[in-house]
Amino acid sequence: MSDVHAQTVSYVRETMLPEAEPPVTERGAIKWLRENLFSSWLNAILTILSLFVIYYVLSHTLGWMLYGIWDAGSLTECRQIRNELYGEDASVACWAVLADRWDQLLFGFYPQDLYWRPVAALLVFFVAVSPILFEGVPRKLFYLTAAAPFICFWLIWGGTIWGPIVVALGFVIAGAIFRYGAEMVGPLLAIIGAFLVPILYWLLLAGPLTGMLNSIAPIGMQYVSSDEIGGFMLAFIIGITGIILSFPLGILLALGRQSDLFIINKTCVTFIEVIRGVPLIVWLFTASLLLNYFLPPGTNFDLLLRVIIMVTFFASAYMAEVIRGGLAALPRGQYEGADSLGLNYWQSMQLIILPQALKISIPGIVNTFIGLFKDTTLVVFVGLSDPIGFSNLIRATTDWNGIYWELFIFIGLCFFICCFSMSKYSQFLERKLRTEHR
């Protein structure tokens, strides 16, 4: 044995060969180019074609954008400056419209000296959602999250501070009845009470109470009516409220559609199918025109509020179907595992089923959010001045009559940034939640 060994291992290298680099065609940029752009004839042709298209587009637009004129009071002035600088037939952008009207595009007719208020509301919103979006943010912030809707409302619309506080009190009452009522009058009565008492309170008590508190301690800010809100601020208000409200509503609808309880099941199915089966624009017209017939005469039900409700319903129907897909994708074993441990329905939904179903549905959910946010541009048809509406208003002025691209590029870019951020966040979330290693 050892003899054989000695013979077969007659040569032993004593020094290591120096490390060699891979051949030049297999490393760095050249390798990347070869693998990704020129791996085959077809690929090479496509690469060259794409390069040509990119060149063609950029050569026609880059100059137009970069040499654009920022400093002018009207389109005519823009043209004059262009003639002086580049000559008559040069084509350059007139960004001056943005410099001149950015405030309206962003805030509508919101009073200029109060611009800080919507900005502050947006900041409050971001701080309030941070504990939901990211781990590692102090949990105490959840108190702010609960208060944020009322703070934001007050910041944007202003008026007496007692309004939002009195309304918020209704939720506190509901919570207290739900929490402590179960022991005193039984769970079913507590749930019914938690619904009915706050509604009665809001309808009957909230108004007089606000008035009374306000006359005792008149604390408030300048009131801004919904008519003055427009531009991206409007898109954000509708979009964000719609997203926040449609998410829980969508979950409830999805669960309802899975329910064995006949009435709940059929109600949810009908709601989803009816809302989803009719174009959003029809619902918006319904909100703006028809609702007035149904509401008691004299009630002034804010158009913005009506639109938000419709957009929320519309998005929640889609959301419900997306989440239902996630629920259906879970193996039955997960439900049985939860049941076998004695978790009740809401516990197993909250702890086992929904975390997984929602994780599966993240792409679809974010897709719905993005759709909802872009659909806010449709409100222009019911007379609200969203960014598109404002671009129309701006183009109708004598100063800026005849300008198109600059405004639409700006609006498109703003929407793109928002939607792309949502998409990026959803990818981050999917990576973070990936726990299976199968």
Summarize as ranges the residues that interact with other proteins (CB under 8 A): 331, 333-334, 336-344, 347, 351-352, 355-356, 359, 433, 435-438
Instruction: Considering the complex, state which of residue 431 and residue 438 has its C-beta at the smaller distance from other proteins.
Output: 438
* Size of the chain in residues: 438
* Phi, psi values for residue 220, rounded to 5°: 180, 175
Query: Minimal distance in Å, beta carbon 136 to other proteins?
Result: 18
Instruction: Considering the complex, state which of residue 347 and residue 427 has its C-beta at the smaller distance from other proteins.
Output: 347
Instruction: Considering the complex, state which of residue 113 and residue 436 has its C-beta at the smaller distance from other proteins.
Output: 436
Instruction: Considering the complex, state which of residue 58 and residue 341 has its C-beta at the smaller distance from other proteins.
Output: 341
Query: Minimal distance in Å, beta carbon 363 to other proteins?
Result: 17
The H-or-E segment that residue 300 falls in is none
Q: Which residues contact 406 (CB under 8 A, 6 or more apart)?
A: 68, 93, 94, 95, 97, 98
Helices (H), 67-186: 75-86, 96-107, 116-133, 141-157, 162-185
The rounded distance, in Å, linking the Cα atoms of 286 and 102 is 32
The rounded distance, in Å, linking the Cα atoms of 94 and 76 is 10
Q: Are 244 and 128 in contact (CB under 8 A)?
A: no
Query: Minimal distance in Å, beta carbon 331 to other proteins?
Result: 8
Instruction: Considering the complex, state which of residue 103 and residue 336 has its C-beta at the smaller distance from other proteins.
Output: 336
Query: Minimal distance in Å, beta carbon 433 to other proteins?
Result: 7
By C-alpha distance, which of 103, 105, 155 is closest to 127? 155
Query: Minimal distance in Å, beta carbon 255 to other proteins?
Result: 17
Query: Minimal distance in Å, beta carbon 367 to other proteins?
Result: 22
Query: Minimal distance in Å, beta carbon 338 to other proteins?
Result: 8
Q: Are 232 and 387 in contact (CB under 8 A)?
A: yes
The rounded distance, in Å, linking the Cα atoms of 130 and 318 is 25
* Phi, psi values for residue 176, rounded to 5°: -65, -45
Query: Minimal distance in Å, beta carbon 189 to other proteins?
Result: 17
Instruction: Considering the complex, state which of residue 167 and residue 343 has its C-beta at the smaller distance from other proteins.
Output: 343
- Residue whose structure tokens are 């002034």: 300
Query: Minimal distance in Å, beta carbon 327 to other proteins?
Result: 14
What are the angstrom distances between the C-alpha of 279 and each of 234, 240, 310, 374, 378?
21, 21, 11, 14, 11
The rounded distance, in Å, linking the Cα atoms of 432 and 153 is 33
- Residue whose structure tokens are 């897709």: 367
Instruction: Considering the complex, state which of residue 165 and residue 343 has its C-beta at the smaller distance from other proteins.
Output: 343
Instruction: Considering the complex, state which of residue 147 and residue 343 has its C-beta at the smaller distance from other proteins.
Output: 343
Instruction: Considering the complex, state which of residue 252 and residue 343 has its C-beta at the smaller distance from other proteins.
Output: 343
